[in-house]
Structure 1
Amino acid sequence: MTVRAVLFDFSGTLFRLEQDESWLSGLVDSAGREWDLEAQTELMRRMTAPMGQVAALPEEYQQAWEQRDLDPDLHRKVYLEVLRSSGVEDPEQARALYSSLVDPDCWTPYPDTGPVVRGLHETGVRTAVISNIAFDIRPALDRIGIGELFDSVLMSYVEGVIKPDPKLFLRACERLGVAPEEALMIGDSTEADGAATEVGCRFELVEPLPTSERPDALSRAVAEHGLAM
C-alpha cells in the first residue's frame, strides 16, 4: 500500500539536544573535580532518553516519572531530581540545566530535517510530529521554517496520551485522514515509536546520534518506502 503520510518523533529524530559546554561549565563532583566529557555525555543522555528509568529515584518520584510527559509540573519536578541524583548538587545549576532542556531554541535540527519535511510537503505527503514531551516544541519547528508544513503536531502533554499507547498513533492518522496502513512512523525508539506497527503503520528506526554524525538518516528512511525527495 502506498505511503500517504509520515509521522515523525521529535527528540533524537528531527532534533537533538546537543551538548553545550557553557551549560556544564563550573559543574564539579562531590570531590570538587570538574566533570569530564564522559560524565557530561551521560548526563545529557539521561535528560533525553526516550524510554526507561535513567536514574534511581526515591519512591515519592515514581509516579512523577511515569507521568512526566503528561504534565509540565511533574516533568520539572522529576528531572530536577534526576539532575540532583546524577550529581548536580547546586539547585541553581540544576534549574539552569533544566531550563535549557525545555527551551526549543536549544534544540538542534538534524541536517536533513528541513529538506525531508519540505520535500514531503511538496509532493503531497501529509506529515505529523508525535512526541512524548512536556513543553511546546512548535517554536523549534518554526525556527527552521517547517512548522507550518506539518499537518498536525501531537504533544503528549496536550493530548493526554503517551507513546507507546496506540491511541496516539491512531489519533495522528485520523487527523491526517489516512489509514494506519498508509502511514510511516520514523523514530529513535523501537519501544515507543515502533509501537506504531501494532495499529498497522510501518516503522523506520533512526539512531539518536549527534547531528554532525547523522547527515541523511531521515532521507534514507523515507526512500526505503518509495518516497523520493
Structure 2
Amino acid sequence: MTIEAVLFDYSGTLFRLGESQAWGDGLVAADGRAFDLDEKTEILRRMTAPVGQLVEFDAEGQHAWENRDLDPKLHRHAYLEVLRKSGVPTDDQAALLYDHMVDPTSWTPYPDVEAVLTSLAAQGLQIALVSNIAFDVRAAFTARNWDRYIDAFALSFEIGAMKPDQRIFAATLDKLGVDPESALMVGDSAEADGGATALGCRFALVDPLPTWERPTGLIDALQEHGFTIDR
C-alpha cells in the first residue's frame, strides 16, 4: 500500500538537545570541580533517553517519572530529581538545565530535516510530529517556518497517551485521516516509536547520534522505504 503520511518523533529524530557548545557550561560539582565532557554527556543522555529508568525514585518521584510526559508539573519534578541524582549539586543548577531542556529554541535540528520536510510536502505527503513530551515544541518549527509542513502535532501531554500506547498513534492518524497501513513512523526508539507497528504502520529506525555525526540519517531511512528526497 502506498504511504500517504510520515510521522516523526522529535528528540533524537528531528532535533537534538545539547548541541550548543555552551550547554552545561558552569556546571560545578559539590567539590568545586567543573564537570568534564563525559559527565556532561551522561547527564544529557539521562535527560533525553526515550525509554528506560536511569535513577531510583521515592514513591512520589516514581509516579512523576512514569507519568512525566503527560503533565508538565510531573515532568519538571521527575527531571529535576534525575539531575540531582546525576550529580548536579544545587537546585539552581538543576533548574537552569531543566529550563534549557524545555526551551524548544535550545534544540538543534538534524542537518537534513529541512530537505526532508520540504521534499515530502512537495510530494503531497502528510507530515505529523508524534512525541512523548510535556512541553510545546511548536516554536522549534515556527522559528524556521517549518510549521507550514506539519499537518498534525501529536504531543503526549496534549493527547493524554504516551508511546508505545497505540492511542497516540491512532489519534494522530485520525487527525490526518490516514489508515495505519498507509503511514510510516520514523523514530529513534524501536520500543517507543516502533509501537506504531501494532496498529499496522511501517517503521523506520534512526540513530540519535549528535547532529554532526548524522547528516543524512533521515534521508537514508526514507530512501529505504522508497522515497526520493531532494538534497
- Shorter-chain TM range is over 0.9
Deviation for aligned residue 1:27:
2.1
Q: Which residue of structure 1 lines up, in the alignment, with residue 38 of structure 2?
A: 38
CA distance in 2, matches of 1:113, 1:21: 21
Q: TM-score, normalised by structure 2?
A: 0.96
Q: Which residue of structure 2 lines up, in the alignment, with residue 101 of structure 1?
A: 101
Q: Which residue of structure 1 lines up, in the alignment, with residue 206 of structure 2?
A: 206
* 1:1-80 mapped onto 2 (5 Å cutoff): 1-80=1-80
CA distance in 2, matches of 1:2, 1:193: 20
Deviation for aligned residue 1:119:
0.5
SS of the residue 2:6 aligns to: strand
Deviation for aligned residue 1:149:
1.0
1:173-222 Cα offsets, whole Å, 9 max, x none, are 12111110000000000100001111100000000000000011111111
Q: Does structure 1 retain, via aligned residues, the 8 Å contact 2:70–2:134?
A: yes
Deviation for aligned residue 1:58:
2.2
Q: Which residue of structure 1 lines up, in the alignment, with residue 163 of structure 2?
A: 163
Q: Does 1:83 align with 2:83?
A: yes
CA distance in 1, matches of 2:43, 2:126: 36
SS of the residue 1:7 aligns to: strand
1:80-110 Cα offsets, whole Å, 9 max, x none, are 1111111111111111110000001100000
SS of the residue 1:100 aligns to: helix
Deviation for aligned residue 1:10:
0.4
Letter in 1 for 2:181: E
Deviation for aligned residue 1:223:
1.3
* 1:121-160 mapped onto 2 (5 Å cutoff): 121-160=121-160
Cα 1:99–1:169, aligned 2, differ >3 Å: closer, same or farther? same
CA distance in 2, matches of 1:58, 1:33: 29
- Unaligned runs of at least 5 residues, structure 2: none
Q: Does structure 1 retain, via aligned residues, the 8 Å contact 2:19–2:210?
A: no
SS of the residue 2:129 aligns to: strand
CA distance in 2, matches of 1:126, 1:69: 25
**Alignment RMSD (CA, Å):** 1.1
